[in-house]
Amino acid sequence: MGGLIAFEVTRSLRYQNHTPVHLFISACRAPHLPDDDFPIHDLPDANFLAELRRLNGTPEAVLTNIEIMDLLLPAIRADFALVENYRYVDEPPINCPITAFGGLQDLEISREELAAWQLQTNSTFALRLFPGDHFFLHSERSHLLQLICQQLDSL
């Protein structure tokens, strides 16, 4: 979800004559590609929780804590609804560099879906893949931050 929001904010900023120095995207298919995934945001709680487990991004201790899930479930469902209902509108590519990050074992977003971000920029594009699944950033956080800092230092 964060990648789509960052992308749309970047597109919106150009109409105010602002251009970010770089757009970093993590584990998000390029916005112009169709999302063929079955929507899960309105599944019954048990099925929705099973999908969250399958995605491997929420600790089991959180998923099994009824009080915490009662608080978090509406927000998590809203996040999924936002992504699942996103509709891309064709516009010219943005004028800042894009780097897309992904997990080598990600079963949700493929290398090709990440590489397609290249079509969304008139500037440079880089694709960086890390060991791990859709939530590779949990295990690769320091390496990811190091690469982002290097990119920003080179500006």
Judging by beta carbons within 10 Å of its beta carbon (0-12, 13-18, 19+), is residue 38 exposed, middle or buried? exposed
**Token pair recorded at residue 148:** 């982002």
Residues 10-32: what's their mean pLDDT?
Answer: 95
Contact 27, 102 (CB under 8 A): yes
All structural domains of the chain, each given as residue ranges with its CATH number in brackets, are 2-30+97-153 (3.40.50.1820), 45-84 (no CATH)
Percent of all residues in the chain with a pLDDT value above 70, rounded to a whole number: 100
pLDDT digits (tens, 9 = 90+) for 51-104: 999 988 899 999 999 999 999 999 999 999 999 999 999 999 999 999 999 999
pLDDT band at 35 (very low <50, low <70, confident <90, very high): confident
Residue 50 has pLDDT above 90, yes or no: yes
pLDDT grade for 120, boundaries at 50, 70 and 90: very high
pLDDT value for 37: 84
What's the CA dihedral at 62, 35, 113, 92 to 10 degrees? -120
| Cβ count within 10 A of residue 102 | 26
Percent over 90 (pLDDT), the chain = 91
Does the pLDDT at position 1 exceed 90? no
For residue 154, pLDDT over 90 is answered with no
pLDDT at 57: 86
Q: Provide the token pair at 49.
A: 């929780």
pLDDT computed for residue 65 by the predictor: 95
pTM of the model: 0.90
Element (H, E) at 114: helix 111-115
Query: How much is the pLDDT for 36?
Result: 85
What mean pLDDT, rounded, does the chain reach? 94
